[in-house]
Amino acid sequence: MARAVRMPPLGETTDELRIVEWLKAEGDEVALGEPLLAVETDKATLEVEAAAAGTLLEILHRAGESVRVGTVVAYVGEQGEEVPKQTPAREAVPEAAAAGGPAAPSSRRERVTASPVVRRLAQDLGIDLSRVQGSGPGGRIEKEDVLGMTDGRAIEGEPVAPHRQSLARRLGRSAVIPQFSVGATVDMTQAAALLERKRAAGVSGLGYTHLLLRAIAVALRARPEVNRLWVDEGPRIRRLERVDVGLAVAGEGTLLVVTLPEPDRLSSAELVEHTERATAEARAGRVSERHRAPAAVTLSNLGMVAVDRFSAIIDPDQTAIVAAGAVTERPGVVGGEVQPVPQLELTLTVDHRVLDGVAAGRFLAAIREELERGDA
């Protein structure tokens, strides 16, 4: 029986997503978990993976169309198999728009087609999209169409890129979360020695970020009370079954969080490979499903830009964030003598609705213990 491919809930502030491109054509074979199409959300361009293997029988919504979450966009099944007769019709273009004439405001309001980015721009400018005539395919409203409705009035300041607008909205959500921070200084002598051993053994690309990701995962297993998420509906506390860890990735004016799958269960080489792949996806703005899994804790590392210490803001869909500075040599006591010791400043910021001070302190202590042991 042919299986429906539905638009998944990927957007964070809208339930309408735009199809950027199909990565498979009708008649192509599709493997389970293989990227099937790319969609534009309010945050980035993401790939949707196939939930079933088979042949891509029919595509119902093409690139450039915006569809709501849950809409059937295609069917996958056996070669030659018929798709269900109740196949939803493709989105229609208003007759007046197709003929080049203006559409009635009431019908335009129902049938308006625009990406989440364009909708947000119209909202920020106070423009009713039902009054905008789209110049894109099928009457789709483009950014230029919205800007053309400003009636020549000046818009002061520099325009904010869509991804920065999305980031600002997320930070706004984080600002209302009751949060506090705790800090610790870590002796990185053993961690530095571990890096030297691994690199000498042929593991290239391994760095402190990878050791931190692994240490956070180990600490989450030791302190499972941290591996939980606050859910407003209820409210409830959701316990995560997997111990995945988020990583904040900065690009040219972008900031995304990607998920690394259970870093403590990957070999050093596998962890480097997964991190490189996830980082590349984030900087390209196209994050695969495997790197979008929920995570309770994210690592934000600014050591590479010589920051000693800082506090980070919690992702509103997570419970905590670990801020790591640079590993630098500072005076320390070794064997009763003052010697230079490589040290790292860690700051843990947590959602006070989920964790209290003692639990946060114990979790940070578990991270420090794992790093100072250095025997991974």
Which helix or strand (DSSP H or E) is residue 147 part of?
helix 143-147
pLDDT of residue 154: 55
Kindly state whether residue 228 falls inside one of the protein's structural domains: yes
pLDDT of residue 86: 54
pLDDT for residue 181 is more than 60: yes
Based on the fold, state whether residues 57 and 187 are members of the same structural domain.
Answer: no
| Pairing status of strand 179-187 against strand 337-351 | antiparallel
pLDDT of residue 90: 40
Q: Which of 61-70, 167-176, 217-226 has the lowest mean pLDDT?
A: 167-176
Q: Which residues contact 280 (CB under 8 A, 6 or more apart)?
A: none
Contact status, residue 58 vs residue 87, Cβ threshold 8 Å? yes
Based on the fold, state whether residues 351 and 244 are members of the same structural domain.
Answer: yes
pLDDT for residue 104 is more than 90: no
d(CA 108, CA 113): 9
Based on the fold, state whether residues 329 and 246 are members of the same structural domain.
Answer: yes
Count other Cβ atoms within 10 Å, centred on residue 141: 26
pLDDT of residue 128: 81
Based on the fold, state whether residues 14 and 152 are members of the same structural domain.
Answer: no
pLDDT tens digit string along 293-315?
999 999 999 999 989 999 999 99
Based on the fold, state whether residues 337 and 212 are members of the same structural domain.
Answer: yes
Kindly state whether residue 51 falls inside one of the protein's structural domains: yes
- Structural domain harbouring 135: 98-159
Count other Cβ atoms within 10 Å, centred on residue 76: 24
Number of domains into which the chain is organized: 3
Kindly state whether residue 91 falls inside one of the protein's structural domains: no
pLDDT for residue 95 is more than 80: no
Percent of the chain with pLDDT over 90: 51
pLDDT for residue 108 is more than 50: no
pLDDT for residue 373 is more than 70: yes
Based on the fold, state whether residues 296 and 250 are members of the same structural domain.
Answer: yes
Mean pLDDT of 10-32: 82
What average pLDDT does the structure give for the chain?
85
Kindly state whether residue 65 falls inside one of the protein's structural domains: yes
CATH number for the domain spanning 50: value is 2.40.50.100
pLDDT of residue 167: 75
Based on the fold, state whether residues 241 and 351 are members of the same structural domain.
Answer: yes
Kindly state whether residue 89 falls inside one of the protein's structural domains: no
